[in-house]
Amino acid sequence: MKMGKLKTKKTLLKRIRITKNGKIVRKQIGIGHLKVKWSSKRKFRKAKKLVQKNKGHIKKLKRLLGNHV
């Protein structure tokens, strides 16, 4: 009996990017709206991408991505 293939979670694929070295990069949370009261320094900091460092999260994300890793 054959096992089924793992399907890629397309929503996750849209939200993260994988670098050439295999690192997972994502946007920061909490930057959707209500930014008028933020300082420009805070907006600039929040606009940067974050590299995922937690090894447990990386393992889970790679499993959800299937063959796109």
8-29 pLDDT, tens digit per residue, is 999 999 999 999 998 999 999 9
Q: What angle do CA 11, 20, 49 make, to 5 degrees?
A: 55
Prediction pTM value: 0.74
Residues 36 and 68: their CA atoms lie apart, in Å, by: 37
pLDDT band at 61 (very low <50, low <70, confident <90, very high): very high
- pLDDT tens for residues 31-48? 889 999 999 999 999 999
More confident residue, 4 or 33: 33
